[in-house]
Amino acid sequence: MLFFEQLISGRDVMFKCLIRGVFLFVLTTQTVLGASTEAVYGDKAMISSRSTLASAAGIEIMAQGGNAVDGAVATAFALAVTYPSAGNIGGGGFAVIHFPDGRVLTQDHREKAPGTAHRDMYLDADGNEVKGLSRDTHLAAGVPGSVDGLLDLLERHGTKSRQEVLLPAIRLAKEGFVLDRYMARHINTVGKRLQDTPAAKKVFSMGDRLVEAGDVWQQPDLAVTLQRIHDKGRAGFYEGKTADLIVAEMKRGNGIITHEDLKNYRSVWREPVMTTYRGYDVWTMGPPSSAVLVLQILNMLEPYDVASMGYGAAELIHLMIEAERRSYADRAEHLGDPDFWDVPLEGLVSKEYALKRFADVDLEKASDSDDILAGYPAGKESMETTHFSVMDSNGMAVAFTTTLNSSYGSKLVVDGAGFLLNNEMDDFSVKPNTMNQFDLIGREANAIKPNKRMLSSMSPTIVSKDGKPVLVTGSPGGSTIITTTLQVILNVIDHGMPLHDAVSMPRFHHQWTPNRIIYERYAFSPDTQRILEALGHVGLMEWPYGRGIGDANSVMMKDGVLQGVKDPRAEGVAVGF
Ligand code: GLY
């Protein structure tokens, strides 16, 4: 091992940690392990995530005999340490799990509104939204769900102990890891407001100066919090010292999460939503996720010969935009927490509804979003989320998306506990037809109520064939999560792309309102743009932010071999063996 570390001396400790892990796996498994941003191949296990160290943490557990769920839980806890802008224990997420016998289950550990939350809590006396209240304050935090969800996932479907899967995360928080240039800059720029409160500054600085590339960044308070979870399970977070620290933090900042809210939080197992698409089964998260839109759009596209049209063809882009326009209009009207709102789910995913909903599409002309109202189905984020994909060779797969909502959530740290509070309350519709940070609007279905879960776009998705998982995918990116996930699926199934290309190719997005098409550079050639404009599409806008749309870290089983691809738009690696 020393030899390996000397070999890479001069490189960062992050890489050393990975190599240390890799070396151990090679020793224990006698197999060659790959770790790269190119496609990585393996026989037994594969994880693709936003953080090199988190992928390695999950693979460490799988190399010790753990299954895909063990790997996913270890990765998720490690992400809370190594990728704190989205990885978390103070937020929430969704997991879609494919079992070796072909069953698929989904787990919802989305945050909930606190017990004293109310519909108009972000409005002033005149009924106007108070800007920032649902995003930047203690009032923005929903009751965190990640810890309950991860522990329940592990207890029911993992094979390893809580102590084993938490160990890499505790080690990373306690011993620290070297910040690379990207991460140091991200903390200081995207996370600028982290310097505004003493509790966050304590975690996200090096005492009297900002963090810098090359610093060994330790998170001692977070290590102790993780150790309490290690020792006491959910009680180590939702009760006792951690709960006291959360409630004290709330009192300091006029937040409303109580001991009772924390004690009562429970994640929920829900039936997945599913549709067939060209001989494949596509499984994803039902409400309070709006991933059902991925299925609706696939249903609308299925009657068309997408493969012959070809990737990037204006006629296909036109069809996709029209399908997106209609499904996002449905989202605003029909989707919310199913425990509080009667979501017409069966109707929304039915092939009949898709045919009806798409019947008015004009192949020669764009529709106007103002003319597209919600349909009537039968039965009636900078943004920062993160997605990772895991698969083992036994047919178990996990698609997992987790978030604090904005980058670093509310930017508020629970003093003494070392973790960030989410600002997920902004995903509620704070006022009918008022845009949230992703320019999404909502209505009654997603209005705030005590203990209700806010609507999400997180779309962890598994595509299977004949009862075996083929593709695990999903993405961060607020409202663009849905269209990113869709495009990876179309690229694989319709365009026959290798996974690396399916994940890397330029993407675009439309969400009904605002009526505009955002696209990555190179997504549309100049003549494609001209054709789209001639069809009547408006608001073509090159994606203005950093590296692109989404971060679709995906895993695939092809010809009996596992493949992992880290989306090249951001850091991290796929690791497998
Ligand atoms: N917070 C982003 C989402 O759940 O859609």
Residue 569 lies in a domain: no
Mutational pocket test of ligand 1: of 112, 337, 381, the residue with most ligand atoms within 8 Å of the beta carbon: 381
- Please spell the DSSP secondary structure of 415-470, one letter per residue: TTT--BPP-GGGGS-SSTT---TTS----GGG---TTPBPPB----EEEEETTEEE
CA distances from 297 to 204, 315, 353 (A): 41, 15, 11
Phi, psi of 362 (to 5 degrees): -105, 120
Mutational pocket test of ligand 1: of 110, 423, 438, 440, the residue with most ligand atoms within 8 Å of the beta carbon: 438
DSSP assignment letter at 160: S
Dist CA 414 CA 132 (whole Å) = 19
User: Is the distance from the beta carbon of residue 402 to the nearest atom of ligand 1 less than 6 Å?
Assistant: no
Spatial contact of 252 and 195, defined as CB atoms under 8 Å apart: no
pLDDT tens, position by position, 300-309:
999 999 999 9
Q: Tell me the H-state helices in 159-264.
A: 162-175, 181-189, 198-203, 220-232, 235-238, 240-252, 259-264
pTM: predicted TM-score of the whole model, two decimal places: 0.92
User: Is the distance from the beta carbon of residue 484 to the nearest atom of ligand 1 less than 6 Å?
Assistant: no
Question: What pLDDT sits at residue 382?
Answer: 62
CA distances from 74 to 87, 132, 147, 324, 365 (A): 12, 34, 12, 35, 49
- 314-334 vs 480-493: helix crossing angle, rounded to 10: 140
Residues in the chain: 577
Residue 457 lies in a domain: no
Antiparallel, parallel or unpaired: β 40-42 and 280-284 = unpaired
Question: What pLDDT sits at residue 103?
Answer: 98
Question: What pLDDT sits at residue 383?
Answer: 67
Residue 306 lies in a domain: no
Residue 423 lies in a domain: yes
Closest CA to 489 of 463, 464, 469: 463
Query: Which residue among 385, 473, 484, 528 is the active-site one?
Result: 385
User: Is the distance from the beta carbon of residue 457 to the nearest atom of ligand 1 less than 6 Å?
Assistant: yes
- 280 dihedral zone (left: phi>0; alpha: psi -120 to 50; beta): beta
Q: Which residue is listed with tokens 């691809």?
A: 565
How many Cα atoms are found within 13 Å in the side-chain-facing hemisphere of 256?
17
Phi, psi of 291 (to 5 degrees): -60, -15
Question: What pLDDT sits at residue 312?
Answer: 97
pLDDT tens, position by position, 314-370:
999 999 999 999 999 999 999 999 999 999 999 999 999 999 999 999 999 999 999
Spatial contact of 296 and 280, defined as CB atoms under 8 Å apart: no
Three-state DSSP state, 550: coil
Q: What distance, in Å, lies between the first and last C-alpha atoms of the chain?
A: 18
User: Is the distance from the beta carbon of residue 409 to the nearest atom of ligand 1 less than 6 Å?
Assistant: no
Measuring from atom 4 of ligand 1, which residue has the nearest CA?
A: 456
Measuring from atom 1 of ligand 1, which residue has the nearest CA?
A: 405
Question: What pLDDT sits at residue 547?
Answer: 79
- Burial group, residue 201, by CB count within 10 angstroms (0-12, 13-18, 19+): middle
- Burial group, residue 524, by CB count within 10 angstroms (0-12, 13-18, 19+): buried
- 536 dihedral zone (left: phi>0; alpha: psi -120 to 50; beta): left
Residue 72 lies in a domain: yes
Phi, psi of 81 (to 5 degrees): -95, -45
CA of 346 from ligand 1 middle (Å) equals 23
CA of 427 from ligand 1 middle (Å) equals 6
Question: What pLDDT sits at residue 544?
Answer: 82
Q: Which atom of ligand 1 lies at the shortest distance from residue 457's CA?
A: 5
Question: What pLDDT sits at residue 114?
Answer: 98
Q: Tell me the H-state helices in 51-111.
A: 52-63, 68-82
Q: Clarify whether 385 is annotated catalytic.
A: yes
Question: What pLDDT sits at residue 25?
Answer: 44
User: Is the distance from the beta carbon of residue 479 to the nearest atom of ligand 1 less than 6 Å?
Assistant: no
Question: What pLDDT sits at residue 36?
Answer: 53
- Domain range for residue 137? 53-268+386-437
Residue 6 lies in a domain: no
Spatial contact of 230 and 163, defined as CB atoms under 8 Å apart: yes
Residue 48 lies in a domain: no
User: Is the distance from the beta carbon of residue 456 to the nearest atom of ligand 1 less than 6 Å?
Assistant: yes
Instruction: Please give the tally of structural domains in the chain.
Output: 1
Residue 242 lies in a domain: yes
pLDDT along the chain (577 residues), means of 10: 31 45 41 59 97 97 98 98 98 98 98 98 97 96 98 98 98 97 94 96 97 98 98 98 98 98 98 98 98 98 98 98 98 97 97 97 96 84 84 98 97 98 96 91 96 98 98 97 98 98 98 96 96 98 88 97 96 95
